[in-house]
Amino acid sequence: MNQRRISNSPLLDPSFCTVVLISPDAVDYGPADPSTHAACKRATEVIARAAEIAGVPVFILSARHLEQEFSSNPAPSSMRAHVQFVFEQHTSPWSLKTFVEALSAQDRTILILAGLWLEHEILATALNALVDGYDVYVLLDASAPRSPLASTAARERLSQGGGTPITTSQVINEWAFETTDASMRAALMALLPVLLDVKPPGA
């Protein structure tokens, strides 16, 4: 980023945001609790839908060893139209130059990260983005750790580096508060029951 656009709002203005989802459709969650798996999947799908409503770009990155899984298990319709990149397994997504350049070309300074794994790819991406001048927010309900201990350590490391832990509902609410478009606000708020896996009244 040559010149950074700075938001004047203390809330997340969608016109300054980009969502980055890392391996959101991984089939193997390994030691992660099944309920964590389901909640993470739901949250990543909801944030992708919210981004579409709010006009926020979405980048989807998958590790090369997951490439076959992505082709045989198509992403939800809320994710198919977004820009996708493949990075090498066991490397930081930030080492993928094409991704970093495409991100910079968006001229948006707020990154919202989610996916797998919180203490590995998510944290590495967050710390590198912070060094490069982005404001970074990590969706805790959409970023699965391999263990509770890993989650605690990753959150501490993120905070020490200047990143902000946040939830998907917080992001959606702030986007809704920041827009002057009543229909957009209504569409964003309608996603919250989906996020909580609760049917809206009358459904």
DSSP state of 58: E
- Angle (CA) 99-101-107 rounded to 5° is 110
User: Average pLDDT, whole number, for the chain?
Assistant: 85
63: domain CATH number is: 3.40.50.850
Residue 149 corresponds to which tokens in the numbers above?
């201990």
**Statement: residue 78 has pLDDT above 80:** no
**Statement: residue 171 has pLDDT above 80:** yes
Tell which wins on pLDDT, 94 or 38. Answer: 94
Q: What is the pLDDT of residues 82-101, one digit of tens each?
A: 789 999 887 899 999 999 99
Q: Report the first-to-last Cα separation within the chain, whole angstroms.
A: 46
Domain that holds residue 113: 15-195
Domain contains 96: yes
Task: List the beta bridge partners of residue 63.
Answer: 87
**Statement: residue 77 has pLDDT above 60:** no
Residue 28's pLDDT is 59
Domain contains 45: yes
Domain contains 10: no
Domain contains 38: yes
**What DSSP string runs through 74-107?**
PPPHHHHTSEEEEE-TTS-GGG-HHHHHHHHHTT
What total number of domains does the chain contain? Answer: 1
